[in-house]
Amino acid sequence: MSTSSTRRNVVSGIIIIFVSIFVVRLFTIQIADNSYQMSANNNSRRYMTDYAARGVVFDRNGKLLVYNQPAYDLMVIPNQTAAFDTAELASLIKVKESFLKDALKKARSYSRFKPSVVVKEIGDTTFVSFNEQLYKFPGFFTQMRTLRKYPNRIASHILGYIGEVDDRVIKDNTYYAQGDYIGISGIERSYEEQLRGRKGVRIFLVDVHNRIQGGYQDGKYDTLAVSGKNITTTLDAELQAYGEYLLQKKTGAIVAIEPSTGEILALVSAPTYDPNLLVGRVRSPNYRILVNDKNKPLFNRALMAQYPPGSTFKLVNALIGLQEKVITPGSVFTCAGGYHMGSLKVGCHHNGSIDFLYSIQGSCNAYYCNVYQRTLDDKKYKSVAEAYLNWRKYVTSFGLGVKLNTDLAHELEGLVPTNAYFDRYYGKNRWKSLMLISMSIGQGELGVTPVQMANMVATIANRGYYFIPHIVKNIEGQDKIDPRFMEKHFTNIDTSYFELVIEGMARVVTGGTATNARVPDIEICGKTGTAQNPHGEDHSIFVAFAPRHNPKIAIAVYVENAGFGSTWASPVASLMIEKYLKGSISRPDLEKYIADKEILIVKK
């Protein structure tokens, strides 16, 4: 074969190979792979999100707590804009001209042909006046959103707030995209899926310059937005507002529960804030102000603050002592100004013989030091560690030191130390009952949240069981709430012992440490507490339920740095009870005195 023939064959072979590659690639693009077709289609369509209105929220009596108001995002397609007066546009939408210029610069950097948000959350009042002038600004258009509105300005820690999703949320949940909103705290967070509804999408045909030419196939493939579900809470709005009024100028918490259901009637964390401050364009600057406030108004003390229970914890130790039979209803101990054991002394304001009922009525420290020592040194257990483990099981059966699993976000579990805790601190098998004696009166290593304390007293009111505290009563379209809120949780204490403790609690109010909690025609059963505070004055504590038979409300009150439980917490609780059960207050002077008193730790 000649050299020229060989060359022709080589060239022909190369041409055949390239043609074959081209044919195979063309087949793949046009027949086998539709991604290029999809890409071309996407370039001729614009997908616009229709945001669903979030569900509205009501109190237990149908009073509106949260609703939606319209807001608008100002959008721009940079390539479609013409020369315009930026100062006029900034004035119309009420932003600084420098802010507007920066936003437009970012939009151009992103894409000259795709829409970008210029200004978010323009209120309806501003929108109405701006919309009349929109024709002056080609390339700009608005997209409707909704913002939350809180007509009563209460329950900020319960209701929570919403905010824009971040990259982490988008990565974890494909439902969300940039610019979407999500519940950050409170009910908005816990019931996000029910409240958010479902977004819709409208598809438009656009030309090569991204200008809308009409709907794609007459809207055949559009999807409608579905509004979120409305929620009825267990909250009593009037009681909640009243609790916030009583704790104004103070630091602390109030939690009120309906014992027979576990429904939360009020959950107050003070200081609080107007929930409208965290809505719309003012949210970011207001959030910074609230975060930097030294009184920590964003901190939900009702669910997250861990306080010593103080003398209110004597109720639990009394029941454990009776159940373990280390005491009987007739047990008497001597109090000589406190509990004395060698060099150890736990002070008390009593002297003489103290019986069981008076130990609760008069809140005797020495009595409960003796009960606690007997419980941990009981010879039926092989060691103090084994006895303590058994004691701890009793305590946690009241919902103390464990997460109650409520339907509110950010609930903490508190602290009832495990055996391992003391093993690390003292050494294994080297700790004794006297080393833990402060826990007999609710001090030492114990830490509980106000919602746990309210649940504890609700458990006593129920004579030995509780329902998990919860804030949602009904969700639109659902027959029942979460089954976990309908299940009884029993303590490890026999029902027969509760009535004796309840008699002692009744005497606390009629002739004990909380006589200022008495309300005409209402039998209140309560217990005062004063929790030592290493950072200042003691915390004032009171737990109670009423009426004694067929109780309708159980309540826990903490007022920080306020001294004795009888000074502040017990009158606050009694006013709340009276307000809920009677609808009015018979002691207006006390009400005004409590509300006007300022006991903040840090001045603003």
Assess if residue 20 is contained within a domain. no
**What share of the chain in percent tops pLDDT 70?**
91
Enter the pTM of the model: 0.88
Cα–Cα distance for residue pair 287/298, rounded to 1 Å: 9
281 and 388 inside one domain: yes
Q: Is the pLDDT of residue 7 over 70?
A: no
- 381 falls in which pLDDT band (50, 70, 90)? very high
What is the arithmetic mean of pLDDT over 137-160?
Answer: 91
113 and 246 inside one domain: no
Assess if residue 332 is contained within a domain. yes
Q: What pLDDT digit, counting tens, does each position of 475-491 carry?
A: 999 988 999 999 999 99
- Domain C-terminal end among 233, 250, 266: 233
**Cα separations (Å) of 33 from 9, 28, 40, 184?**
34, 6, 13, 42
328 and 229 inside one domain: no
588 and 485 inside one domain: yes
pLDDT of residue 182: 94
Q: Take residue 385 and report the two structure tokens written for it.
A: 């560690």
412 and 534 inside one domain: yes
Q: What pLDDT digit, counting tens, does each position of 258-280 carry?
A: 999 999 999 999 999 999 999 98
The residue segments making up the domain with residue 202 are 46-79+104-233
276 and 381 inside one domain: yes
What is the arithmetic mean of pLDDT over 356-372?
Answer: 97
Tell me the CATH number at 177.
3.90.1310.10
pLDDT of residue 79: 86
Per DSSP, the residues of 96-142 read -HHHHHHHHHHHHHH-SSS-EEEEEEEEHHHHHHHHTTGGGSTTEEE
- Give how many domains the chain has, as a whole number: 2
pLDDT of residue 34: 47
Q: Which residues, listed in sequence order, are joined to residue 335 by a DSSP beta bridge?
A: 352
Assess if residue 99 is contained within a domain. no
- 253 falls in which pLDDT band (50, 70, 90)? very high
- 134 falls in which pLDDT band (50, 70, 90)? confident
226 and 250 inside one domain: no
Cα–Cα distance for residue pair 299/205, rounded to 1 Å: 49
229 and 242 inside one domain: no
Tell me the CATH number at 404.
3.40.710.10
Assess if residue 33 is contained within a domain. no
229 and 241 inside one domain: no
210 and 242 inside one domain: no
418 and 500 inside one domain: yes
Say if CB 254 and CB 235 are below 8 A apart: no
What is the arithmetic mean of pLDDT over 88-110?
Answer: 91
Assess if residue 242 is contained within a domain. yes
Assess if residue 29 is contained within a domain. no
469 and 524 inside one domain: yes
Residue-averaged pLDDT of the chain: 90
